[in-house]
A and B are shown apart, each in its own frame.
Chain A
């Protein structure tokens, strides 16, 4: 019985083990899986972005579905004639009578359309600078959004957050912790201040700062280990379920086949074997 689910499981297991085979050494299985990943990702992203933004929110605003009984003027007819041309080429994205995604017509959206097309044209090296305008729009907007967001939440918000609670129902422990937090934050920040030489009292403060930073980096390291292991657990859980009878033991068969093939491949690639692929010491 070959259902899409079972065929899919065998493919998934093959791709998973092909990537894991990198741990043995760089090999054709890994390279194939890696290249498939690159290609599929590109197609996947393009499809997602087209159907979630370009089609509904750009074409939907340029050529909204026309209400029944609405009569267009000459320019309107011309405008929709362009649409009908697209409709002939690719009806899924340009269905008869306009894109019905609930927008009204907003012709200002021609600007992002033109900038977008210029971006695409930049694939040809002659027009490579065409992408700049669109990119600059994105850069400018990101700068405007971030300047505010980072100043407000990461600087002002954190300064406010460092306030030590003294009034009300506060335990001694909370006050001590608040003081430690404040000292740590200030000394850590001063460590990053390089316009003054780290000597004398300033050096001592910087030293305390670096201790706090080290504890923080240590925690980050602990969390990094934690995260990676969780992801591995996820993969193994999948492999385990694909190894069950419902999937005709896909994991076991493919693992066995791959081990044999890698063994043969290693045997015939002896000159590379000397480097062992993983020379970290």
Chain B
């Protein structure tokens, strides 16, 4: 129990206190440990946690296959995907390039091979070969996936008399090097999958807009009103919608409010009628400018809602969350909150 319970709580308390007071202490040794090494340990442990996650995932999918649970066939794809990503991450890097250290005795022949490799004319390649110096070899831009294909080019170059060297991407840097398998996997497998998963939500949000957003009360009206104004006002089409159109819509909405409030047809119609007449007179008088009066011009109206009432609400939430996180963090450090050991 001591190892499983007391020690973990003590670790949280100690590390939490050190980190928190690291902000206020001016002792160089403590500060250096807290700011640099302790954070590095955190980063290292976070990395191990990722490995743990991957192992757990494998375990789960394996169990599914072994026990022939429903849909176990799909688990094969999950494990296959992992093996593929692991292989290109740790075993096969690709991204080979060729450096020419010197063009040798017959630069014309070498230039032919180079031109075939990077495209362009033989003359241009000769010029490039002429630029080679002792410390500045010519790096051919073309990147090869496999050792076989790069060897072929290197051998051609050597046969034509050049001093060529194959340069593989260094391990670690191979992750994001152009022409590495890992880089290919990122853009051709990982990207479409993760991006499309998120893009699916566009459809679901549209369908929710159609079916779920109902004006049931004043609060819902405010919510939808501000949502619609932001949606229209923030995109280019918002600046094409005349403020006079918005004013007419406001008059109509006013009519709806009066109707549901007083339930009197004459009052409703006279409100709408007077409103329309007033807006029309003002419009004729001002010459219907698209962005005036400014308060009804969507981009301006949007900016005001966005920068004033919206921020007021968002700030209230932010302060609330801030206090909440602060309190929870302190509870963790003091050992009152122990959910991390399942209590």
Is the C-beta of B66 less than 8 angstroms from some C-beta in chain A? no
Query: Is B311 a contact of A140 with CB atoms below 8 Å?
Result: no
Knowing A36-B78, A46-B51, A115-B45 touch, does A225 contact B85 (C-beta < 8 A)? Answer: no
Query: Is B310 a contact of A228 with CB atoms below 8 Å?
Result: no
A33 CA to B219 CA, complexed, in Å: 41
Is the C-beta of A87 less than 8 angstroms from some C-beta in chain B? no
- Determine the residue in chain A with the shortest Cβ distance to B74: A35
Find residues 141-164 in chain B having any chain A CB closer than 8 Å to their own CB. 145
Residues of chain B lying within 8 A (CB to CB) of residue A232: 199, 202-203
Of the listed residues B7, B57, B307, the one surrounded by the most CB atoms of chain A closer than 10 A to its CB is: B57
A219 CA to B50 CA, complexed, in Å: 35
Residues of chain A lying within 8 A (CB to CB) of residue B248: none
Query: Is A92 a contact of B37 with CB atoms below 8 Å?
Result: no
A132 CA to B338 CA, complexed, in Å: 12
| Binary flags per residue of B230-246, CB closer than 8 Å to A gives 1, else 0 | 11001100000000000
Knowing A147-B333, A150-B326 touch, does A39 contact B85 (C-beta < 8 A)? Answer: yes
Residues of chain B lying within 8 A (CB to CB) of residue A37: 81, 190, 193-194, 197
Query: Is B90 a contact of A120 with CB atoms below 8 Å?
Result: no
Residues of chain A lying within 8 A (CB to CB) of residue B53: 42, 45
| Binary flags per residue of A20-43, CB closer than 8 Å to B gives 1, else 0 | 101100000001111111111111
Knowing A133-B7, A185-B315, A234-B199 touch, does A116 contact B48 (C-beta < 8 A)? Answer: yes
Query: Is A140 a contact of B13 with CB atoms below 8 Å?
Result: yes
Query: Is B90 a contact of A184 with CB atoms below 8 Å?
Result: no
Query: Is B200 a contact of A20 with CB atoms below 8 Å?
Result: yes
Is the C-beta of A134 less than 8 angstroms from some C-beta in chain B? yes
Knowing A32-B77, A55-B172 touch, does A140 contact B230 (C-beta < 8 A)? Answer: no
Is the C-beta of A65 less than 8 angstroms from some C-beta in chain B? no
Is the C-beta of B253 less than 8 angstroms from some C-beta in chain A? no
Residues of chain B lying within 8 A (CB to CB) of residue A95: 171
| Binary flags per residue of B8-20, CB closer than 8 Å to A gives 1, else 0 | 1101111111111
Picked from B15, B46, B54, B196, the residue with its CB within 8 Å of the CB of A19 is: B196
CB distance from A146 to the nearest CB of B (A): 5
Residues of chain B lying within 8 A (CB to CB) of residue A215: 222-223, 226, 305, 309-310, 313
Is the C-beta of A252 less than 8 angstroms from some C-beta in chain B? no
Query: Is B203 a contact of A23 with CB atoms below 8 Å?
Result: yes
A144 CA to B228 CA, complexed, in Å: 41
- Determine the residue in chain A with the shortest Cβ distance to B20: A144
Query: Is B79 a contact of A36 with CB atoms below 8 Å?
Result: no
| Binary flags per residue of A170-193, CB closer than 8 Å to B gives 1, else 0 | 000000010011111111110110
Query: Is B175 a contact of A136 with CB atoms below 8 Å?
Result: no
Number of A-B contacts (CB under 8 A): 424
Residues of chain A lying within 8 A (CB to CB) of residue B340: 132, 135-136, 139
Find residues 292-343 in chain B having any chain A CB closer than 8 Å to their own CB. 304-323, 325-326, 328-330, 332-333, 340-341
Query: Is B47 a contact of A53 with CB atoms below 8 Å?
Result: yes
A19 CA to B193 CA, complexed, in Å: 7
Query: Is A31 a contact of B71 with CB atoms below 8 Å?
Result: yes
- Determine the residue in chain B with the shortest Cβ distance to A191: B316
A148 CA to B223 CA, complexed, in Å: 33
Residues of chain B lying within 8 A (CB to CB) of residue A151: 322, 326
Interface residue count on the B side (C-beta < 8 Å): 132
Query: Is B41 a contact of A135 with CB atoms below 8 Å?
Result: no
Query: Is A155 a contact of B323 with CB atoms below 8 Å?
Result: yes
Find residues 179-235 in chain A having any chain B CB closer than 8 Å to their own CB. 180-189, 191-192, 209-219, 221-226, 228-229, 231-232, 234-235
A143 CA to B15 CA, complexed, in Å: 9
Query: Is A4 a contact of B145 with CB atoms below 8 Å?
Result: yes
Of the listed residues A16, A142, A154, the one surrounded by the most CB atoms of chain B closer than 10 A to its CB is: A154
- Determine the residue in chain A with the shortest Cβ distance to B233: A222
| Binary flags per residue of B156-195, CB closer than 8 Å to A gives 1, else 0 | 0000000000000001100100000010111111111111
A147 CA to B12 CA, complexed, in Å: 13
Query: Is A225 a contact of B231 with CB atoms below 8 Å?
Result: yes
A213 CA to B320 CA, complexed, in Å: 12
CB distance from A20 to the nearest CB of B (A): 6
Residues of chain B lying within 8 A (CB to CB) of residue A182: 312
- Determine the residue in chain A with the shortest Cβ distance to B182: A47
Is the C-beta of B281 less than 8 angstroms from some C-beta in chain A? no
Query: Is A146 a contact of B329 with CB atoms below 8 Å?
Result: yes
A163 CA to B218 CA, complexed, in Å: 30
User: Which residue numbers of B lie inside 8 Å of A, CB to CB?
Assistant: 3-4, 7-9, 11-20, 22-23, 37-59, 61, 71, 74-75, 77-86, 88-90, 145, 171-172, 175, 182, 184-203, 205-207, 209, 211, 213, 218-220, 222-231, 234-235, 304-323, 325-326, 328-330, 332-333, 340-341
User: A19-B193, A36-B81, A209-B316 given. 13 additional CB < 8 A pairs?
Assistant: A20-B200, A31-B71, A39-B84, A40-B81, A40-B190, A43-B86, A120-B52, A140-B11, A146-B326, A211-B219, A214-B223, A225-B206, A225-B231
Q: What are 26 A-to-B residue pairs whose CB atoms are below 8 Å?
A: A35-B78, A37-B197, A40-B190, A50-B89, A51-B171, A111-B41, A119-B52, A120-B48, A132-B4, A136-B11, A138-B45, A138-B49, A139-B12, A140-B11, A140-B333, A142-B42, A181-B308, A184-B308, A191-B316, A192-B320, A218-B227, A219-B226, A225-B227, A228-B198, A228-B202, A280-B211
Give 3 closest A-B pairs by Cβ, nearest first.
A184-B312, A43-B85, A144-B19
User: Which residue numbers of A lie inside 8 Å of B, CB to CB?
Assistant: 4, 8-9, 11-13, 15-16, 19-20, 22-23, 31-58, 90, 92-93, 95, 106, 108-109, 111-113, 115-117, 119-120, 122-123, 129, 131-148, 150-151, 153-155, 158-159, 161-162, 177, 180-189, 191-192, 209-219, 221-226, 228-229, 231-232, 234-235, 238, 280-281
